[in-house]
Amino acid sequence: MPPRERPAQVFDGGLQQERTALAWERTAIASMVAGVLLARYSAEEIHVAVAAIGVLQVVLGALLLIWAGAHYDDLHGPLRAGESPVHPLATRIVGVASVCFTGAALLVAIAIAFR
């Protein structure tokens, strides 16, 4: 894919597209770190199947990070056209996955605490 031309002027003084891209990247990295910790402690203390959930979380976080980087430039087009760059389905999927993985991590933490 050829590199895209960057805009010559800032059309959003608040740099919304940069903040949005950074938020997606932070979410992806936090998800990967939580998945690594879940997999590590689950494999040692709990069960290998729960460790597989941690590995799945790392993979999904990596895919989210790749997606955020690949679609960063796509944010400029809608912003220049005055449209919203929000991806409601992606937001819902990440939200539900974050809640599920956080719940799994909480259960592992409780299991470790009561051992």
Higher pLDDT, residue 1 or 41 = 41
The predicted-structure confidence for 16-47, as pLDDT tens digits, reads as follows 667 777 888 888 898 889 888 888 888 777 77
Number of domains in the chain: 1
Q: How far apart are CA 22 and CA 29, in angstroms?
A: 10
The answer as to whether 72 is a domain residue is yes
Higher pLDDT, residue 63 or 45 = 63
Query: For residues 39 and 55, is the Cβ–Cβ distance under 8 A?
Result: yes
The answer as to whether 2 is a domain residue is no
The predicted-structure confidence for 65-110, as pLDDT tens digits, reads as follows 888 877 776 766 676 676 766 777 877 888 888 888 888 888 888 8
The answer as to whether 1 is a domain residue is no
The answer as to whether 48 is a domain residue is yes
Q: How far apart are CA 25 and CA 16, in angstroms?
A: 14
- Residue 11 pLDDT > 70, yes or no? no
The answer as to whether 6 is a domain residue is no
The answer as to whether 11 is a domain residue is no
State the residue range of the domain holding 44.
Answer: 18-113
